[in-house]
A and B are shown apart, each in its own frame.
Chain A
């Protein structure tokens, strides 16, 4: 049984590496030259279409992608499917403006789709406000559906008289209790912790499930949502607001006028503490982003070895090493969710702590 599973996973990884290889070869890149950097960046970046699989047919690359809605706010709201861009090959005219998809971003351009470059290869074209449903947004909504299904299903089992947990309930209950007892109650005074429990629970499962979805190497997984700074920024900001909006008098007292130390040190400390207000969520943001993105980059690099070396002989090495990395990433997925939630609880706990000590 164990062997069969291993073989299945190996085959899955092989298929995945083929997909990446094929996926990368469209657009600007030349088929015979494999650029691992571009492939990896393409994978971990967001995208306006959801790539399913690519294959070769009669010497031609065929891509199966799910087009996603593009929503642009630029003198009104423009909504159209990303397939209109034809993977960046065509410009789209909406209103009086032409839009071009270039390296995953949408720029304003002219009818011929020209892109102006500044120094160090930055694009100078103006960008509209892009509220598109990108691959990361779609992946996030998928995770939301999974989470809602999982926990409302479990919640239904709690109706009626108290009973021993069963089914999906016995899977989620220890996790919920873990977050409640070992994260929330451990860091926040118990009578105040209940208020923050929904936030902490949602945070933990949201990060964890999205980490796991990011590790699934084929459609509909593989997005790098929790390794995207936009998402980690939002989560860190929410923690920041929750922390500081629930700050007690003694919390602010400890920040701006530390009791029990001489005045000059108080002034110094208040500066440090004030900076600390922002570095704490900033560290949260970077930690999650860096850990998840790094995991994706390492696994993709290991697969890239096969194509960089242009040898199938290296494949077993790549596969075994990335298998190990996958195991590690499974741990990192839950670990980072735990750390993010734990630190959020810790910050909240410090903020709501009211008695003098």
Chain B
């Protein structure tokens, strides 16, 4: 059985060759390749982690942005509200003051008018009295020209006069 009997020459050469091949490949091929592959895998892993971290940071940033915007909006709203209230109060104040002023003016105007009216009435009364006296004088002059009539008037007045 030639097939199953090892040949010392080939055993020797293949052992030597395979040993040398392992040695050479380990030094010049496997070591650099495996190291490079490993470092590349690590690089990829680190990069992925960094990307993940960056993504998280961006999300954080976005959240902060939204928060800041919301705060700003809320502040704006309060400011606007306050301004509106302030405006309203100012308007109301002004209105009230104006009203008061107007009321005062109107009141004093009324007082004035009343006073002047009374004065006018007084003067009118005086004038009416003067005119009445004048007219009465003239009437008396006219009426008392006849005694009958004088008598009648005297009677009438006398009748009117109540002595109690």
Do A230 and B3 touch (CB < 8 A)? no
CB distance from B8 to the nearest CB of A (A): 6
Q: Verify A158–B32 contact, CB threshold 8 A.
A: yes
B10, A134: Cβ atoms under 8 Å? yes
A130 engages B37 (CB within 8 Å): no
Contact A152 B21 (CB under 8 A): no
Q: In chain A, what residue has the closest Cβ to B39? A: A162
Candidates A129, A172, A198, A293; contact of B26 at CB < 8 Å: A198
What is the CA–CA distance of A19 and B25 in the complex, to the nearest angstrom? 36
B128 within 8 A of A: no
- Find the A residue at minimum CB distance from B10: A230
Scan residues 20-79 of chain B and give those whose CB is less than 8 A from a CB of chain A. 20-22, 24-26, 28-37, 39-40, 43-44
A202 touching B14 by the CB < 8 A rule?
no
Q: B48: shortest Cβ distance to chain A, in Å?
A: 13
- In the complex, chain B residues whose CB is within 8 Å of the CB of A176: 30, 33-34, 37
Question: Can you list the 6 inter-chain pairs with the closest CB atoms, starting with the nearest?
Answer: A158-B36, A151-B29, A230-B10, A162-B40, A198-B26, A230-B6
Other-chain residue from B3, B21, B37, B43 in contact with A202 (beta carbon distance below 8 A): B21
Q: Kindly report which residue of chain A lies nearest to residue B5, judged by CB atoms.
A: A229
In whole Å, how far is B1's beta carbon from the nearest beta carbon of chain A? 10
| Identity of the chain A residue whose Cβ is nearest the Cβ of B4 in the assembled complex | A229
**What residue of chain A has the Cβ atom nearest to residue B26's Cβ?**
A198
Cβ contact within 8 Å between A235 and B18: yes
| Distance of A238 Cα from B22 Cα, bound (Å) | 11
Interface size class of B (residues with CB under 8 A): 35 or more
Interfacial chain A residues near B32, Cβ < 8 Å: 155, 158-159
Tell me which of A147, A155, A194, A234 contacts B15 (CB under 8 A). Answer: A234
B141 sits at the interface (CB 8 A): no
A136, B12: Cα distance in complex, Å: 12
CB of A198 within 8 A of CB of B28, answer no
Chain A's nearest CB lies how many Å from the CB of B40? 4
Residue A81 lies at the interface, judged by CB distance under 8 Å to chain B: no
B-contacting residues of A (Cβ < 8 Å)?
41, 44-46, 71, 129-134, 136-137, 140-141, 144, 147-148, 151-152, 154-155, 158-159, 162, 172-173, 176-177, 180, 194, 197-199, 201-202, 206, 228-231, 233-235, 237-238, 289, 293
Q: Does the CB pair B8–A129 fall under 8 Å?
A: yes
**What residue of chain A has the Cβ atom nearest to residue B32's Cβ?**
A155
Q: Does A202 lie within 8 Å of B33, measured CB to CB?
A: no
Q: What is the CA–CA distance of A197 and B29 in the complex, to the nearest angstrom?
A: 12
A251–B39 Cα gap in the complex (Å)? Answer: 33
Chain A residues within 8 Å of B35, by CB: 158
Distance between Cα atoms of A235 and B22 in the complex (Å): 12
Chain A residues contacting B28 (CB-CB under 8 Å) are 148, 151-152, 155
**Known contacts being A148-B24, A155-B33, is A140 close to B2, with CB within 8 Å?**
no
Find out whether the CB atom of B10 lies under 8 angstroms from the CB atom of A228: yes
- Taking CB atoms, residues of chain B closer than 8 Å to A155 are 28-29, 32-33
**Contact at A144–B17, with CB atoms within 8 Å?**
yes
Q: A234 touches which one: B3, B11, B26, B29 (CB < 8 A)?
A: B11
**Given A46-B10, A155-B32, A228-B10, A202:B25 Cβ within 8 A:** yes
Q: Does B163 interact with chain A (Cβ within 8 Å)?
A: no
Q: Is B7 an interface residue (CB 8 A)?
A: yes
Smallest CB gap from A132: residue in B: B9
